[in-house]
Amino acid sequence: MLLYNTLTKRREEFVPITPGKVSIYVCGPTVYDYIHIGNARPMIVFDTLRRYLEHKGYEVNYVSNFTDVDDKIIKKSIEEGISSQEVSERYIKECKQDMDHMNVRPATVHPRATQEIDGMIDMISTLIEKDYAYEKNGTVYFRTRKDKEYGKLSHKNLDDLRSGFRALQVSGEEEKEDPLDFVLWKPKKEGEPFWKSPWSEGRPGWHIECSVMSRKYLGDTIDIHAGGEDLVFPHHENEIAQSECCNGVPFAHYWLHNAFLNIDNRKMSKSLGNFFTVRDIESHYDLQVLRLFMLSAHYRSPLNFSDKLMESAKASYERIRNAVDNLNFLIQHAGSGQMSDSEKEKAEELAGFTQRFDEAMDDDINTADAIAVIFDLVRFANSETGEESSKDFVQSVKDEILMLGDIIGMQFERKEEVLDSQIEALISQRQAARAAKNFALADEIRDQLAGMGITLLDTREGVKWKRN
pLDDT for res 162: 67
Provide the whole-model pTM.
0.87
Task: pLDDT band for 462, please (50, 70, 90 cuts).
Answer: confident
Is the model's pLDDT at 168 over the cut of 80?
Answer: no
Indicate the range of 75-84, 235-244, 256-265, 329-338 predicted with least confidence.
329-338
Torsion of CA 125, 129, 131, 135, to 10 degrees: 50
The CATH code that applies to domain 307-407 is 1.20.120.640
Is the model's pLDDT at 336 over the cut of 90?
Answer: no
Q: What are phi and psi of 25, to 5 degrees?
A: -120, 125
Is the model's pLDDT at 174 over the cut of 80?
Answer: no
User: For 369-410, how does the pLDDT look when each residue is reduced to its tens digit (9 = 90+)?
Assistant: 999 999 999 999 999 999 999 999 999 999 999 999 999 999
Is the model's pLDDT at 416 over the cut of 80?
Answer: no
The CATH code that applies to domain 15-258 is 3.40.50.620
Residue range 319-342: mean pLDDT, rounded: 92
- Greater confidence (306 vs 418) lies with 306
Domains 15-258 and 307-407 share a fold: no
User: For 51-60, how does the pLDDT look when each residue is reduced to its tens digit (9 = 90+)?
Assistant: 999 999 999 9
Distance CA 322, CA 328 (A): 10
Residue range 164-184: mean pLDDT, rounded: 71
Domain ranges of the chain: 15-258, 307-407, 420-467
The conformational region for residue 9 under phi > 0 = left, psi -120 to 50 = alpha, else beta, is left
Task: pLDDT band for 39, please (50, 70, 90 cuts).
Answer: very high
Residue range 274-285: mean pLDDT, rounded: 91
Q: What is the percent of the chain with per-residue pLDDT over 70, rounded to a whole number? A: 96
User: For 185-228, how does the pLDDT look when each residue is reduced to its tens digit (9 = 90+)?
Assistant: 999 998 899 999 999 999 999 999 999 999 999 999 999 999 99
- Per residue, the 3-state secondary structure of the chain, as one string, reads CEEEECCCCEEEECCCCCCCEEEEEECCCECCCCCEHHHHHHHHHHHHHHHHHHHCCCEEEEEECEECCCHHHHHHHHHHCCCHHHHHHHHHHHHHHHHHHCCCCCCCECCEHHHCHHHHHHHHHHHHHCCCEEEECCEEEECHHHCCCCCCCCCCCHHHHHHHHHHCCCCCHHHCCCCCCEEEEEECCCCCCCECCCCCCEEECHHHHHHHHHHHHHCCCEEEEEEEHHHHHHHHHHHHHHHHHHHCCCCEEEEEEECCEEECCEECCCCCCCCCEHHHHHCCCCHHHHHHHHHCCCCCCCEEECHHHHHHHHHHHHHHHHHHHHHHHHHHHCCCCCCCHHHHHHHHCHHHHHHHHHHHHHECCCHHHHHHHHHHHHHHHHHHCCCCCCHHHHHHHHHHHHHHHHHCCCCCCCCCCCCHHHHHHHHHHHHHHHHCCCHHHHHHHHHHHHHCCEEEEEECCEEEEEEC
pLDDT for res 49: 98
Residue range 157-183: mean pLDDT, rounded: 70
Task: pLDDT band for 353, please (50, 70, 90 cuts).
Answer: very high
pLDDT for res 169: 46
Indicate the range of 14-18, 29-33, 335-339, 347-351 predicted with least confidence.
335-339
What is the overall mean pLDDT for the chain?
92
Is the model's pLDDT at 274 over the cut of 50?
Answer: yes
pLDDT for res 417: 59
